[in-house]
Amino acid sequence: MTKYFGFAFSVAMLPKGKVFVQKFDLTLDEVKRFLSEEYTSCLNPSHKATIEAAKSRFDLEIAIPEQPPRVALQDGDELVIMQVSGLPRLTDRHEYTSEEIAKANFSFVSIVVHTPADR
């Protein structure tokens, strides 16, 4: 079972054939526990400002790969996603203000993939 952490989920990450997906909402403590274990970060380094916002607001230590990996989820794999809404697009600067971070909504979900034997 491989564990991933990212900001998005795409059906392109799923294996071909019949697949069951379980989605769980996570608490901040569950996310911190997840990040304290071995996982593969699939974050894009260009989203550094959002990653820094999560570190600042929640004290999360999130690995930033030089290049995000191509994710191909298999049976038993888990993808934890941090969803953020309410942060403005950064067009003329490279970081968020503490006020912008405080107003933003962060949520965390876990997606676990299951492939049945009769695929």
Q: Could you report the per-residue pLDDT of 31-62, keeping only the tens digit for each?
A: 999 999 999 999 888 777 778 888 888 888 88
SS3 4: strand
Could you tell me the pLDDT band of residue 96, with boundaries at 50, 70 and 90? confident
Q: What is the 3-state secondary structure of 24-68?
A: EEECHHHHHHHHCCCCEECCCHHHHHHHHHHHHHHCCCCCCCCCC
Taking the model in full, what pTM does it have? Answer: 0.84
In the sheet that 78-85 helps form, which strands lie side by side, from edge to edge?
20-26, 105-114, 78-85, 3-6, 40-41
**How far apart are the C-alpha atoms of 86 and 103, rounded to whole Å?**
7
In this predicted structure, what is the pLDDT of residue 54? 81
Asked whether residue 27 carries a pLDDT value surpassing 90, the answer given is: yes
